[in-house]
Amino acid sequence: MDIKKKINRKISVAPMMDCTDRHDRYFLRLISENVMLYTEMVVTKAVLRGDKHKLLKYDNFEKPLALQVGGSDKKELAEVAKIAEDYGYDEVNINLGCPSKKVQKNSFGACLMKEPDLVSECLAEMKKSCSIPVTAKTRIGFDDTEEFDYLNMFVNKMKQTGCKTIILHARKAILKGLTPKQNLNIPKLNYEMVYDIKKSHPDLEIIINGGITTTEQIKKHLNYCDGVMIGRAIYQNPYFLKDIENEIFNNSKILSREDIVKQILEYLKKELKTGTKVNQVMRHTVGLYYGQPGSKEWKKYLSDNMMARDSDFQKAKHIMDIAQNNEKANQLTA
């Protein structure tokens, strides 16, 4: 897996647990050739003690691709960063923003914002162990701490290790009392703080993340930051990537939804031979017709026929009929 593709972080898809696995990334790459893709967070101990290949394998078609890791042991993080490089990943990213109880219990994710010196040591060791970019994704604060001075100090600590790219989720993390899902909505967005960090660190690549749902918003943020990372808006409506390709990358050569369905079925056919289940691939395609004629029929068919663990690929053939009908309906309403 040594194919290298130039990294462009202007637009990226956020690492999302239970969402951005290798099947989802393949599906998203069918729509967009330009966005940067990230894996789900992979815990260092799982890589070092578990089935490494199962956790880290990917298709070269997904690239450029970053591995996001979770951990707080600098030696383990360094070892996994080297493994990421050996596997051909284009970047390794440390998670400093996840607020889940399980992550906190293991002393990584957003709770590491309380330990800037430890974060600095971890990044320094990771940088030493590999030659691919080492980046960080973090929040703007935690609990009662949402101050520019603290965030600026934290960013400075990371910068001193040679980390040149920092992704800032423009919300603080509430470490007690909120679920991870609530942490995506309840803490207020503070884009201005991210803009101010960029002003203070013009030499850093600052990527903004959080609550971004339209190309108009993307364009506004790009006036103040180097890149935009989007999560849920793309997972819920993956064809939003078409607008991003058109309007941000000036690329009009985008596959139709019908052609995407054809290609994902070809991918599924190959994957089934390796033990992949139908639902593991097709669950990521539920939002393909988001907001379009035929969306309800598409979702219902997937739900009724392709979401069970023992789903039959023969039923997948009927999806092409739905896709073709939807395409005709879309042309009529265009």
Domain ranges of the chain: 11-247, 257-333
List the CATH code of the domain at 257-333.
Answer: 1.20.120.1460
What phi and psi, each to the nearest 5 degrees, are found at residue 261? -60, -45
Q: How confident is the model at residue 49 (pLDDT cuts 50, 70, 90)?
A: very high
What pLDDT is recorded for position 332?
61
What pLDDT is recorded for position 2?
54
Indicate left, alpha or beta for 22 from its phi (over 0: left) and psi (-120 to 50: alpha): alpha
What pLDDT is recorded for position 334?
53
CB-based contacts of 147, cutoff 8 Å, min separation 6: 141
For 323-334, the pLDDT digits (tens) are: 888 877 777 665
For 131-164, the pLDDT digits (tens) are: 999 999 999 999 999 999 999 999 999 999 999 9
pTM: 0.94
Helix or strand holding residue 78 (H, E)? helix 74-86
What pLDDT is recorded for position 154?
98
The rounded distance, in Å, linking the Cα atoms of 266 and 146 is 48
For 194-210, the pLDDT digits (tens) are: 999 999 999 999 999 99
What pLDDT is recorded for position 99?
80
For 207-237, the pLDDT digits (tens) are: 999 999 999 999 999 999 999 999 999 999 9
pLDDT over 70, % of the chain: 97
C-beta pairs of 49-56 under 8 Å, 24+ apart in sequence: 52/83, 56/83, 56/84, 56/87, 56/89
* Residue 6 CB coordination number (10 Å): 7
- CATH 3.20.20.70 for domain 11-247, yes or no, is yes
* Spatial contact of 174 and 143, defined as CB atoms under 8 Å apart: yes
Q: What residues pair up with 207 in beta bridges, in sequence order?
A: 167, 227
For 274-305, the pLDDT digits (tens) are: 999 999 999 999 999 999 988 999 999 999 88
- Active site members: 98
